Amino acid sequence: MLITSLLPLLTNYSLGFDLVAGPDDTVTLTIVPRKAAEAAHTLANGEARPISITASAAEIDAELGRGIDGALGQLIASRKTLADQIAEQRQAAELARTAAAQAAKANTAAVKPAAPTAPVKASVSSPPADATPGEPASLW
């Protein structure tokens, strides 16, 4: 029954199990999802992280018996969804980075340097005819 309920997960994942007995009749089950040999998609880092469940043996059996509708199936599906979202965000960021680089190149090519101009020469005017040496010139 357990393997039959996990069969939908086994189409995309190879599942490794590790069982450790704990105090008060608890059991810690560590599940390591790996890519199944026939799976089309590649596992993201989040999908391949081990999952650890600590509960009574009956509780773990009941939860694993629910298959993809149980906690294990939902957790793996959530990790896959998050991995897909991260991949989409990385792709969008890369596209934005590429578009910004192309826009910067286009702006650089469109802006032509200004033509050099001849240096401006200061014109020196001669003092008025009625100016007296040593006194400031009048503006009127």
Residue 20 is predicted with a pLDDT of 92
C-alpha torsion 126→131→135→140, nearest 10: -90
Question: Does residue 74 form part of some domain?
Answer: yes
> pLDDT of 30-58, one tens digit each?
888 787 777 666 766 666 778 888 889 88
Residue 103 lies in a domain: no
Looking at residue 27, its pLDDT comes to: 93
In a domain, 98, yes or no: no
Residue 17 lies in a domain: yes
Residue 36 lies in a domain: yes
Cα–Cα distance measured from residue 15 to residue 54, given in angstroms and rounded to the nearest whole number: 17
Tell whether the model's pLDDT for residue 136 goes beyond 80.
no
| Number of domains into which the chain is organized | 1
Six-digit token string for 84: 């897909």
| Alpha-carbon span 14 to 36, nearest angstrom | 5
In a domain, 114, yes or no: no
| Residue 69 tokens, joined | 């509708």
Give 74-108 pLDDT, tens digit per residue.
776 776 677 677 778 888 888 999 988 888 888 87
Per the domain annotation, does 97 fall within a domain?
no
CA distance 27 to 58: 10
In a domain, 14, yes or no: yes
What's the angle, vertex CA 36, arms to CA 33 and CA 37, rounded to 5? 150
Which 8-state DSSP code applies to residue 111?
S
Chain-centre distance for alpha carbon 76? 20
Look up the domain containing 73 and give its range: 2-89
